[in-house]
Structure 1
Amino acid sequence: MSIFNISILSLLLAISCSSGDSDSNSAPTNLNVVISVVGSNDNNPNGDGSGAIQIMASATNAIRYAFRFGTGDQIDSESGNIEHTFLQDGTNNHNITVWAYSESGAFVNESYSVDVYRSDEAFAKLVFSDEFENEGRPDDQKWHHQVIPPNNGSWHNDELQHYTDREENSYVNNGTLKIKAIKEQYSYNGSTKEYTSARLNAKFAFTYGRIEVRAKLTNTAGTWPAIWTLGANSNETGNYFGDQYGNVGWPLCGEIDIMEQTGWDKNSTISHFHWGDLNTEVYSDEGGEIAVENADSEFHVYSMEWDSKSIKTYVDDNLVYEFQNGTNKPFNHEHYLLLNIAIGGNLGGDVPANFTEDIFEIDYVRIYQ
């Protein structure tokens, strides 16, 4: 997403400014407007085709704000934050007027123009994929093995495994990726665990789109496979997206669990959302579950559709959960995909004594915008 600070950059033209009170001292001053065109980057300067923009306005002595898009009605906002989606197809120039009001009703307003691209061809462009047609190790141009746990000790949620980058725990053959959890003593950085597994992070960060993962899940109690995302600003990225990332902790980075399967219920899957409010930093979570027959013996497609308004998760195109997105939630910036099996812990539960190994098998990963 590209952000244009109107008070600093001259990308958007201020057209008018007026006051509703003869006493200029009672009107708001220092009106500052930041307009973000959703999905804008060097390749798509006018956005990702969603037609969506986000606006943040602030002014000294203002208690409320109002916005007009084109010739539409004035829309009030106490916070000064608002989202809007333009519905006209193609790349079009749109006029936006912003008002800031003081307690007395005095106001200032400014008008801007912005070019925004809109297309009804949702999720038509394949932007990242792995069909797993090689043999051996996963493609290291597309995947990062995350092996260093928090504090160099243990992973979150009381999990029992060490993640490794060994081919024993993750490999490609016969057209699929296998992530294998194994019962074996394994030491890492002075810590010995009874199980090993793999955690693969996609080396691709994006905002909005559709993720599809066709997979077979594990069938052994105690195993916890997952398909999920974290904000690319998470301090768990390993910094491979660049120095501008990796500085935000969980849950402020946001987590989307497209699919989780507990260790005690292999006939259903969970979709869940975890986040910290960007204004208050208060933690929240919500989600749902769906029955999935033969999840370990048949491939199913686990998918997510994500835009500025909502995030929907599916199994075989059956809706699992619809989450309402918003500007106070960390789901309007870049995220990246993770695939892993955890052992034990909060959702893995008890591991049977006779457990030896199990496999999470992935046929393909595709991301569309």
Structure 2
Amino acid sequence: MSGNTSQPSDPGSSSVIPTNLTLDITLKGQQENPHGDGSGIVYITASADNASYYNFRFENGDSFNSQDGNLTYTFTETGLNQYLVTVLAYSPTNDYDSTSKPILIRVSPPSVDGRDLVWSDEFNYDGILDSSKWHHQVIPIFGENWANGEQQHYTDRLDNSYVSDGTLKIVAKKEQYIFRGITKNYTSARLNSKYAFKYGRVDIRAKLPSEQGTWPAFWTLGANINEIGNYFGSTYGNVGWPLCGEIDIMEQNGWNKNNLIGHIHWGDTNTGDYGNNGNNIQIQNGSSEFNLYSLIWTESSIKILFNNQPFFEVDIVAGMPYNNLHYILLNIAMGGNLGGEIPTNFNSSTMELDYVRIYQ
């Protein structure tokens, strides 16, 4: 909302009211990105005839005076947010005119480990997932089924993935669902990031599902996999799994929700032989509290962390396919090798994500 209001300090006196008030706001870095460069810095300029000073006001209660109508201000709340900036132009008789202007600005989180944020979703919106960032992978990779004996169909419905109250919800449900003529008794969501990256740090803050039979995962695949129905297709190659390389940042089995798994799978680029390595730790609050699940990936090593504490690290040696672009996957599978038996009284289960961030 924007507009002008004029107010004489004393209608009975000789008042001078500022006129032709303008308000211009420039976001730092907006030439490269319409929402700014992530610093939160804005340059504000107000101008009016008969004005002796200006008062800038912000919705959080901040208020600043300026003699020349110029102000540099920094917004600090992370994510993409809209604010209303108001200026009052005062005349020598202390009469004023005012106007307001909305802005939409993105503020990046602070750098981590000397790395800058290059991609994220803070989930500070409601409803459908941001389609510029996420792809729903719904076509079973083995024709009628997904890998590992999983029992679900993945869908792109709001029933199975949506954003509300600042978090992403991925929901696995017990229900009959038909896709391409195949009926399954469970549904869930499997998301691909539309951003591919090589090296850096991934941070995912989340609450995990608590129900038995669920197999939640935050993981990456080499973008050269060309897996059926994934986002990148053959854009970066067509090597398949496991030659693409896989990094499991977080997995849990379906029967022990205190067990956290970090793992990698790969195919040797020289011999084609399958290899894997990993570790697990015991945690107590995976489903009751938000925790931080992280990957630090460099040219020489892969490190997986829980709440900033490393619990698996491996050196990257010749033949391991970890010098190529990867993308992020988020999903809850039902049953299968790691989900195990699904209880007959299972109804639904939710995994909640506060943010997904990539730093380089």
TM-score, normalising length: structure 1? 0.66
1:269 to 249, 253, 260: 260
Query: Which runs of no fewer than 5 residues in structure 1 stay unpaired?
Result: 1-120
Contact 1:238–1:246, Cα closer than 8 Å, also in 2: no
Match of 1:176 in 2: 167
Work out which of the residue numbers 201, 214, 227 in structure 1 matches 2:205.
214
Aligned residue number for residue 152 of structure 1: 143
Between the aligned partners of 1:179 and 1:267, the Cα distance in structure 2 is 20
Larger radius of gyration: 2
**1:348 — aligned with what?**
339
2:226–2:233 CA contact under 8 A, matched in 1: no
Instruction: Please state whether the residue corresponding to 1:346 is helix, strand or coil.
Output: helix
Following the alignment from structure 1 to structure 2, what is the Cα–Cα distance between the partners of residues 341 and 263? 10
Matched, 1:188 2:179: yes
Q: Specify every segment of 5 or more residues in structure 2 that has no aligned partner in the other structure, as ranges.
A: 1-111
Distance, in Å, in 1 between the alignment partners of 2:324 and 2:188 is 29
Report matched runs for 1:231-310 at 5 Å. Answer: 231-236=222-227, 238=229, 240-241=231-232, 243-310=234-301
Per-residue CA deviation, residues 206-234 of structure 1 (Å, 9 max, x unaligned), is 10000000000010100000000000001
Q: How do residues 99-114 of structure 1 correspond to structure 2 at under 5 angstroms?
A: none
In 2, Cα distance between equivalents of 1:273 and 1:153: 26
CA RMSD of aligned residues (A): 1.7
- Counterpart of 1:194 in structure 2: which amino acid? N
- What is the CA-CA distance between 1:155 and the residue it aligns to? 0.2
Structure 1, residues 332-360: CA drift from partner, whole Å, max 9, x if none? 11000000000000000000000000001
Report how far residue 161 of structure 1 moved.
0.2
| Offset, 1:238 | 3.9
Partner AA of 2:250 in structure 1:
M
The one-letter code sitting in structure 2 at the alignment partner of 1:226 is: A
In structure 2, what is the Cα distance between the partners aligned to 1:363 and 1:287?
26
d(CA) in 1 for partners of 2:271, 2:234: 26
Secondary structure of the structure 1 residue equivalent to 2:338: helix
Cα distance, 1:239 vs. partner? 6.1
- The number of equivalent residue pairs is 251
2:351 corresponds to 1:360: yes
Structure 1 residue matching 2:289: 3-state secondary structure: coil
TM-score normalised by structure 2 residue count: 0.68
Letter in 2 for 1:155: W
User: What is the correspondence of 1:3-18 to structure 2 with a 5 Å cutoff?
Assistant: none
Distance 1:202 1:156, change over 3 A: same
SS in structure 1 at match of 2:311: strand
Distance 1:273 1:141, change over 3 A: same
Q: Give 1:204's aligned residue.
A: 195
Assess if the C-alpha contact under 8 Å between 1:205 and 1:335 holds in 2: yes
C-alpha distance in 2 between matches for 1:368 and 1:286: 24
User: How big is each residue's C-alpha offset from its partner over 1:56-75, in whole Å with a ceiling of 9 and x where there is no partner?
Assistant: xxxxxxxxxxxxxxxxxxxx
Q: Residue 338 of structure 1 corresponds to which residue in structure 2?
A: 329
Q: After alignment, is 174-183 or 290-299 more displaced?
A: 290-299
Contact preservation (8 Å) 1:123, 1:209:
no
User: Which stretches of structure 1, 4 residues or longer, exceed 6 Å deviation after superposition?
Assistant: none
CA drift of 1:243 comes to: 4.6
**2:115 maps to 1:135:** no
Whole-angstrom CA distance in 1 between matches of 2:278 and 2:228: 24
Which residue is equivalent to 1:38?
Answer: none
Q: Deviation digits for residues 31-86 of structure 1, max 9, x if unmatched?
A: xxxxxxxxxxxxxxxxxxxxxxxxxxxxxxxxxxxxxxxxxxxxxxxxxxxxxxxx
1:323 aligns with 2:314: yes
Task: Give distance in 2, aligned partners of 1:313 and 1:151.
Answer: 29
